[in-house]
Amino acid sequence: MNNNNDLKNKWITILDILSSQFNDGEPLGLENVIYLIGVQELGQTDNKFNKDQKLDLMHIAICRLLEPFGFYQFEYIDNDGWPHYKVINKLPNLKSGEQTLLMKEAVVNYFIEKELIQ
């Protein structure tokens, strides 16, 4: 990402899009965005998910989002259609704010890759 202002503006754009589409305009948080990406990556958008499945969806999203950074690699899709990733490089020890910044950058990159924002 070019700079923090660019990241911030793109993050706000993503939140505006998702909040209006999925939460009646009420702001979504980072965890909500990660969950929605997990649902998108699974491709089973009409399903109702239990608590454990929701955590699995967030894990799928995190793996997918951090794959371009070299932390995970896609392995396969199981018989139930769930993607699986393997760890390539251990995540560095990051402070909470640094983790949030990394995930926001990964989300912005994902939306650019999917051509949902520029």
d(CA 35, CA 51): 12
Question: What number is the average pLDDT over the span 4-20?
Answer: 94
Residue located via tokens 């760890």: 87
d(CA 113, CA 38): 16
pLDDT digits (tens, 9 = 90+) for 20-77: 999 998 999 999 999 999 999 999 888 899 999 999 999 999 999 999 999 999 999 9
Question: What number is the average pLDDT over the span 9-30?
Answer: 94
